[in-house]
Structure 1
């Protein structure tokens, strides 16, 4: 695709179109329901069921029955993930350094005003209590499948999603499966640092704990331990979704939204606040930009991506571009309204502090996150998209440093959408 808009024209177009694009809380709740197993599309619902059945089968393994203790031992199988390949390459993920960088990026959490923290509590209560059965079922499947990549299938559409599930369980995408999971930087150190209690543990809370009638099916209320801020599950879900989006740019828009939807599931279950989700999104974006700018990591990424794409084309029996195409209601993650859902999850409608906003500066190399999705744009054009499609200033965690402000405000969904012609994929 040839880009005929100048950087200035793109900036003007974005300014006109994205300023009021965020969904309201009721709209976001309705959109979450449209991307749950209760969705109207039979093809989408069938894909959701296939992914859940594959997840439950893998969790059970050779055991006589699927019991809760299997979750404690859950991990990708040796068939699914080629960990020997990754180990042989000897890449240093610099985990401790990335964890410390994450704490510094989120340092503004410790000085948030009471009004913001109260809104944080009110919002999790509203989402948790108003969630439909379908949304709760999706949240349970997301939570208890954290060790696997099954949850990504529904954002690929019925045809490509089915091919993905087949290739994953046959071990045809082992390099991508291993690299994606290894790229998740644990939030455990940050949780201990901030030491913030989870919503369902706060005195006087009204949280409804969701009983598992989906995965283990023992009706045990879902809970979680450790600190609340930032969210470890969101870190996993957003890392997996964004890296898969980088590898399959034909589904970039849908997969980025899926990462946000995974984080929303944590609020549905009442085990995390909106700020926990926002913080993890910020850290993941920063981490993946760091990795993708490292030539050694990029070599691993390219090798894994090539294997993934070849395997998916084999299972599809056609090109990825064709296999990724879908129709209307069968593809809720590509509903144009989902851009508003993504925008909503960037702030969850928390109070916006007024005042003079500093000029938004793109950290060096951050534009790499749009490189595979928008290969015909220059680095300067991608940076311009990031700046001009950003969330307005002043929302919690945008902080006092340019780096904090950027990673809180950058809207990958809007930047991608506004660089593509109407109807293009």
Structure 2
């Protein structure tokens, strides 16, 4: 009996340490899910929420002007009613942008060592997603892009009931502290873009990318483009930061809102202006940056003040508790469908080649468990760290680099960790 137990233990250990070929979700599966989280969703309630968000965005962009222009989109900023800049400035908080930017460059250093075969697949994948995207996905991608300076895009991850309350409270200035803090917490990717100097996919010689015309916000029919370096994605950094911080404030919708961050990144590929690697890199940066901020007592105090204001405002506008407002009819709430977990898992690697490496357990950096603290307050720090280890994606995918921190932030699957703790997958 003892001999058999010893042999079994050795076999398990070898299996854990050996290369594990991962069965990734397919691009076809991801495309189907992405379409349900666009204006093409069949639910009238979801369509109404999407239309409300787009209308509110266009109104905010246009302001008092007689016509909405590209210049207004390019120079857009939340109004002083929407965002309490004075409150944030009075706090004197130092976001340490340059230090965080440098930390981000180091975190993504594995990009420079990627083989050409991975970069080739990177271009093939963006081309496939871009050319096969449905009209609904394209319309969503344009709205996501033009709405980068605002928070309207987050509404659909809240579901029709809470999403409507969010838009109303946002425009009334009732969650102004959160609006200011979320935007200020976006660590610019400009330094990393200059460092890695990666050409955008639609600029590669001989590419077949289709640039998507704007038929949603500006409605001028002109193709959406972008300039500057491609890696990592600035828009994804923005969308994922906003989503992750809001998810921390509304744990009743934690996984759904985090998945909206991944969906926002997917939109950049639909437009053909970013590669999968750009999106994956920005997810890594955002997770690291948000954890860094939430572990700072001074930032945390601002976060809690903003969160409390936001939660009170949403309950007021919704007319019920957040737990009640967070519930919706399944058909009208695609971000709560089980398929979203599959979509999120796809966006962690986008089907790029998995290298043959030992499938070792991830090592959780000090303080990283804070990302599950507000969502799972009844668990200890050790339990949250264990969840992160148990639900991490397999090793060997691009950008997992050569350090424990690089591997962790690339393999961290927050929605899966949350779902496992809640007992639903």
State the TM-score bracket (shorter-chain normalisation): over 0.9
TM-score by length of 1: 0.94
**1:316 is matched with which residue: 318, 322, 333?**
318
The residue that corresponds to 2:258 in the other structure is 256
Q: 1:319 to 1:217 in 2, by over 3 A?
A: same
Query: Is the contact between residue 361 and residue 389 of structure 2 (CA under 8 Å) also seen in structure 1?
Result: no
Gaps of 5+ in 1: 1-14
Partner of 1:56: 58
Deviations 1:67-103 (A, max 9, x none): 1111122000000000000000000000000000000
Contact kept, 8 Å, 1:22 with 1:341, in 2: the verdict is no
**1:43-80 alpha-carbon deviations (Å, 9 max, x no partner):** 00100000000000000001111111111220000000
| TM alignment of 1:84-103, pairs within 5 A | 84-103=86-105
Q: 1:22: Cα distance to partner?
A: 4.4
Match of 1:82 in 2: 84
Equivalent position of 2:144 in the other structure: 142
Root-mean-square deviation (Å): 1.2
Mapped to 2, the partners of 1:361 and 1:404 lie a distance apart of 10
Aligned counterpart for 1:32 among listed residues 27, 34, 56: 34
Contact 1:209 1:270 in 2 (8 A): yes
1:307-326 per-residue CA deviation (whole Å, 9 max, x = no partner) reads 00000000011111101111
2:10 corresponds to which residue? none
2:357 corresponding residue in structure 1: 355
Contact in 2 for aligned 1:251/1:324 (Cα 8 Å): yes
Distance of 2:411 and 2:342 partners within structure 1: 14
Q: Distance in 2 between matches of 1:41 and 1:57?
A: 24
Deviations 1:151-179 (A, max 9, x none): 00000000000000000000000000000
CA deviations on 1:99-155 (whole Å, 9 max, x unpaired) are 000000000101100110000000000000000000000000000000000000000
* Partner residue in 1 for 2:285: 283
User: For the residues of structure 2 that align with 1:73 and 1:205, how far apart are their CA atoms?
Assistant: 30
5+ unaligned residues in a row in structure 2: which ranges?
1-15
Matches within 5 A, 1:143-162: 143-162=145-164
Q: What residue is the counterpart of 2:4 in the other structure?
A: none
Q: Tell me, what secondary structure is at the counterpart of 2:348?
A: helix
Larger gyration radius, structure 1 or structure 2: 2
The answer (yes or no) to whether the contact 1:22–1:342 under 8 Å persists in 2 is: no
- 4+ residue runs over 3 A deviation: 19-22
Q: 1:287 to 1:399 in 2, by over 3 A?
A: same
Q: Tell me, what secondary structure is at the counterpart of 2:31?
A: helix
CA distance in 1, matches of 2:52, 2:264: 18
The answer to whether the 8 Å contact 1:229/1:276 transfers is yes
Counterpart-to-counterpart distance in 2, 1:315 and 1:59: 23
SS of match in other structure, 1:398: coil
Partner of 2:300: 298
Inter-partner Cα distance in structure 1 for 2:358 and 2:259: 30
- Structure 1 distance, partners of 2:407, 2:278, is 16
Count the aligned residue pairs: 406
Offset from partner CA, 1:175-200 (integer Å, 9 cap, x none): 00000000000000000000000000
